Amino acid sequence: MQKKKTAFMILISLLCSVGIFAGLTAALWNLAGMKIEVQLRGAEDYQLEYGEAYNDPGAKAVLRGESFLKKGFSLPVSVDAAGVKTQKLGTYKVIYTASVLWTSASQSRTVTVVDTTPPEIELRSDPDYFTLPGHAYEE
C-alpha cells in the first residue's frame, strides 16, 4: 500500500512540475514578445496561364522576439497548394503556415489561372480550288 502511495505522489509531483514549467515557459514567451513572421517569396498575386505547371515560389518563416532573438530564428513552412488546378480557370489561395509551440502564423498567395492565349486558326488551302463568282465559299 505504501509503494502505491509513493508512486502516486511521484506522479503528482511530476505532473505539477511539468505544469509549472509549461506555465513559466508560456509566461516568458509572452513577455519576450515572441512572434512568427511568414514572408512570401515572389509576388503576393500570381498569374498563371491555363495548362502551365504551377511552380510555387515558396515562403520563409522567422521566429522573432522583442527582448531576444531579434535577428530571428528560421522555421519550416508548410504549404497547402493542393487546391490550385491549372486545367481550370479561376482564382485559388495557397496557404503558408509556420508554427512552434503554441504560436503559429499564416500568409496566403492568390493564384489566378487565366487563358490569354488566342486560338490558332489554320485554313486549309488548295491551289486548284476557287470559288465561282456569286457562290458561297466552302472550306
pLDDT band at 31 (very low <50, low <70, confident <90, very high): very low
Q: What global pTM score does this model have?
A: 0.64
Give the 3-state secondary structure of residue 10. helix
Rounded-to-5 percentages of helix, strand, coil across the chain:
20, 35, 45
Distance (Å, whole) CA 34 – CA 20: 20
Distance (Å, whole) CA 76 – CA 59: 9
Round the average pLDDT of the chain to a whole number and report it. Answer: 81
Give the mean pLDDT of 74-88. 90
The residue among 120 and 103 whose pLDDT is bigger is: 120
Q: What are the two backbone dihedrals, phi and then psi, of residue 67, each rounded to the nearest 5 degrees?
A: -100, -35
Q: What are the two backbone dihedrals, phi and then psi, of residue 49, each rounded to the nearest 5 degrees?
A: -75, 140
Residue 2 reports pLDDT greater than 70: no
Provide the grid cell at 28: 516568458
